[in-house]
């Protein structure tokens, strides 16, 4: 199986919780024998779609732009057996990098109109390959992914074979040794194995992946202290970590 694993996070390494989850999924896929090509969109030159419809008329199936999308990523996209789309949750849906990638897949469609299941559609030059969606969000409620899930399901319909969404993600990097976090990430690895073997993830594995690792009452006080310390020290989260800072208590209660 050929897998295209797209990482649209603007952050890298420990700072990117999207990357942490995607790395575990890719590990499981490779263990199951898949040929996985990882793509970091931040490192690619992908121009915006300009709506010229050149790919529908003058050069059918070929975009007017000559960039990494046309030369490398689009051919990989149409020739892969499974597409993994990993994005941090930005304004409750995909981020701009992944949205730009998705818009540039327009050459897969032809301009003609047809009715499919009673809905107007464009016929396709290339069949839609199965897609697995991956995302992370700092909030503890799973409902934070509702809009993203709706978008992915509308876009890919029955070809959306998995949705891996990780809540409370901002605390993951400091809780990697915690039992719940370890089990959730091990389940992501197992999910990767299952996707390669059966193009789906079992209910039991999904429940382990989705298990709560924190709640509002636990995370909010520490998160608020953390951000107030960043503001007071005038540092970004990355600078906070590099300087070895700790959240500064602002009362006897928070000190405890």
Calpha distance 199→40 (Å, rounded)? 23
Report whether 185 contacts 22 (CB < 8 A).
no
Assess whether pLDDT exceeds 80 at residue 109. yes
What Rg, from alpha-carbon coordinates, does the chain have?
Answer: 20
Assess whether pLDDT exceeds 80 at residue 14. no
Report whether 245 contacts 233 (CB < 8 A).
yes
What's the confidence (pLDDT) of residue 252? 46
What's the confidence (pLDDT) of residue 255? 52
pTM over 0.85: yes
Main-chain phi, psi angles of 163, to 5 degrees: -130, 110
Please report, for residues 5, 22, 55, the alpha-carbon distance to residue 133 in angstroms, rounded to integers and kept in the order given.
Answer: 10, 10, 26
Report whether 206 contacts 183 (CB < 8 A).
no
> What's the token pair of residue 197?
């073997």
Assess whether pLDDT exceeds 90 at residue 188. yes
Calpha distance 46→236 (Å, rounded)? 27
Calpha distance 35→17 (Å, rounded)? 23
Assess whether pLDDT exceeds 80 at residue 174. no
Look at residue 249 and give its three-state secondary structure: coil
Assess whether pLDDT exceeds 60 at residue 10. yes
What's the confidence (pLDDT) of residue 21? 97
CATH 3.40.50.360 region(s) of the chain? 2-213
Assess whether pLDDT exceeds 70 at residue 251. no
Place domain 2-213 in its CATH homologous superfamily. Flavodoxin domain (3.40.50.360)
Assess whether pLDDT exceeds 70 at residue 27. yes
According to DSSP, residue 124 is labeled B
What's the confidence (pLDDT) of residue 248? 81
The model's pLDDT over 55-101, given as tens digits with 9 standing for 90+, comes to 999 999 999 999 999 999 999 999 999 999 999 999 999 999 999 99
DSSP per position, 25-80:
HHHHHHHTT-EEEEEEGGGS--PPP----GGGTTSTT--S--SHIIIIIHHHHHH-
Assess whether pLDDT exceeds 50 at residue 118. yes
The model's pLDDT over 175-187, given as tens digits with 9 standing for 90+, comes to 878 999 999 999 9
Band the pLDDT of 256: cuts 50, 70, 90: low
């Amino acid at each position: 199986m050929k897998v295209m694993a797209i990482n649209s996070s603007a952050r890298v390494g420990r700072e990117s919780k999207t990357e942490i989850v995607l790395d575990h999924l890719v590990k499981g896929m490779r263990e199951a024998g898949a040929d996985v090509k990882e793509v970091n969109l931040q490192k690619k030159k992908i121009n915006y779609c300009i709506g010229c419809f050149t790919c529908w008329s003058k050069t059918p199936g070929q975009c007017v732009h000559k960039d990494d999308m046309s030369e490398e990523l689009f051919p990989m996209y149409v020739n892969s057996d499974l597409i993994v789309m990993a994005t941090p949750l930005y304004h409750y849906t995909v981020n701009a990098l992944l949205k730009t990638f998705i818009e540039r897949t327009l050459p897969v469609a032809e301009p003609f109109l047809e009715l499919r299941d009673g809905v107007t559609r464009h016929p396709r030059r290339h069949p839609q390959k199965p897609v697995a969606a991956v995302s992370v969000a700092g909030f503890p409620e799973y409902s934070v992914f509702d809009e993203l899930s709706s978008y992915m399901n509308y876009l890919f319909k029955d070809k959306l074979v998995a949705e891996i969404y990780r809540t409370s993600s901002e605390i993951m990097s400091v809780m990697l040794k915690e039992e719940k976090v370890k089990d959730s990430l091990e389940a992501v690895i197992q999910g990767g194995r299952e996707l390669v073997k059966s193009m789906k993830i079992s209910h039991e594995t999904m429940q382990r992946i989705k298990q709560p690792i924190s709640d509002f009452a636990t995370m909010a006080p520490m998160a608020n202290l953390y951000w107030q310390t960043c503001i007071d020290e005038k540092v970004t989260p990355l600078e906070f970590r590099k300087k070895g800072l700790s959240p500064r208590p602002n009362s006897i209660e928070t000190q405890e």
